[in-house]
Amino acid sequence: MQPRKHEGTKKNGVMSYEFVNVKRDGAVEYLTLNRPDVRNAFNEQMIAELAAWASSLAEPARRHEVRAVVLAGAGPAFCAGADAKWMASALGYTEAENLRDAQAMAAMFQSLDELPVPVICRIQGAALGGGAGLAAVSDIVVAEHDAVFGFTEVKLGIVPAIISPFVLAKIGQSAARELFLTGARFPAARAREIGLVHAVVTRAVLDAEVSERVRAILAAGPDAAMAVKVLIREIRGRSPSDAAATTASVIAKRRVSAEGQEGLRAFLEKRKPSWSG
Ligand code: COA
């Protein structure tokens, strides 16, 4: 049976799709949104492809092959959010049909938010609407100085509903109230101030800065990095006393793990741990 369009095909162990380009270099998977003519705006197929890729990465065998993901957009802009033409084609949809579309998009954002491995996001040009939402579900975001951000949905009479839990977790209610309500576009420096972006650099060094973060991730224990992602998710919004049993159990497990023991021995023996190539 032919695979469905969004399911992609496998080449040399790496998935391949129409609107999402995937490349592997060692333990790093490079995921590039690939609809540059419309500034990588999401349509139904791109959403399905991102979801299919995210679930393929969550497979246990792949967890140990891939230790970091770099998320980027082809062409002049990272991502212009939802495709206006696709949204227009949904004007005749019933509320139930819109609900089905919205649920697929919500599931895609959640699966990216919960990816087992660290995600480094590279932003040039613009990250608007869902594009800014992609920054919110990434772990480390590096943007070029001239990049413009915005939760512009209200300008179209809609709301940044699906991305709101992820964006609020990153930028907090104060900035979200202002930016969601006005739909204002803002520069990378402001995105950094509110915690959506971690580093703002010139275009000339954007790739080098992304690579530096990749190297930092590869120097961390692979299982420790994955455990950090789960830890942050599990303790988000909990009080210290409520989280105490979870945090104690997580660190106890790491200390007795082969990786935790190797890391500590390597430090004491003044050598590199076995996982750092
Ligand atoms: N959906 C569909 N098409 C889009 C799009 C979107 N969200 N954003 C851009 N495009 C298309 C444009 O219509 C244009 O198509 P055309 O060549 O057929 O005219 C093409 O992409 C290039 O856009 P342009 O505005 O000329 O590119 P730019 O590099 O000067 O600016 C942006 C890029 C992203 C800053 C600008 O396109 C923009 O502001 N887009 C709107 C984004 C938005 O409001 N998204 C929120 C959706 S909820």
Mutate to test the pocket of ligand 1, among 35, 39, 47 (most ligand atoms within 8 A of CB): 39
Does residue 161 have its Cβ closer than 6 Å to ligand 1? no
41 Cβ closer than 6 Å to some ligand 1 atom: yes
- Banded model confidence at residue 9, pLDDT cuts 50, 70, 90: confident
pTM recorded for the entire structure: 0.95
Residue 7 has pLDDT above 80, yes or no: no
Structural class in CATH, domain 222-276: mainly alpha
Positions of CATH 3.90.226.10 in the chain = 9-218
Q: Calculate how far, in angstroms, residue 72's C-alpha sits from the geometric centre of ligand 1.
A: 17
Q: Tell me how crowded residue 99 is: count the other CB atoms within 10 A of its CB.
A: 11
13 vs 106: CA distance, rounded Å: 28
Distance 39 CA to ligand 1 centre (A): 6
Ligand 1 pocket residue status of 35, Cβ below 6 Å: no
Distances (CA, A) of 139 to 10, 11, 115, 164: 26, 27, 10, 17
Q: Which of 156, 277, 138 is nearest to 220 (CA)?
A: 277
Query: What is the per-residue pLDDT across 86-108, written as a single tens digit (0 to 9) for each?
Result: 988 888 889 899 899 999 999 99
Alpha carbons 36 and 39: distance in angstroms, whole number = 5
> Over the stretch 176-193, which tens digit does the pLDDT of each residue have?
999 999 999 999 999 999
**Where in the chain is CATH 1.10.12.10?**
222-276
Give the separation between CA 130 and CA 202, rounded to whole angstroms. 24
Q: What is the pLDDT of residues 129-156, one digit of tens each?
A: 999 999 999 999 999 999 999 999 999 9
CATH superfamily of 9-218: 2-enoyl-CoA Hydratase; Chain A, domain 1 (3.90.226.10)
Rounded distance between C-alpha atoms, residue 8 and residue 6, angstroms: 5
- Span 227-254, average pLDDT: 95
73 lines ligand 1 (CB under 6 A): no
E strand intervals along 66-194:
68-73, 119-123, 126-128, 140-144, 148-150, 185-187
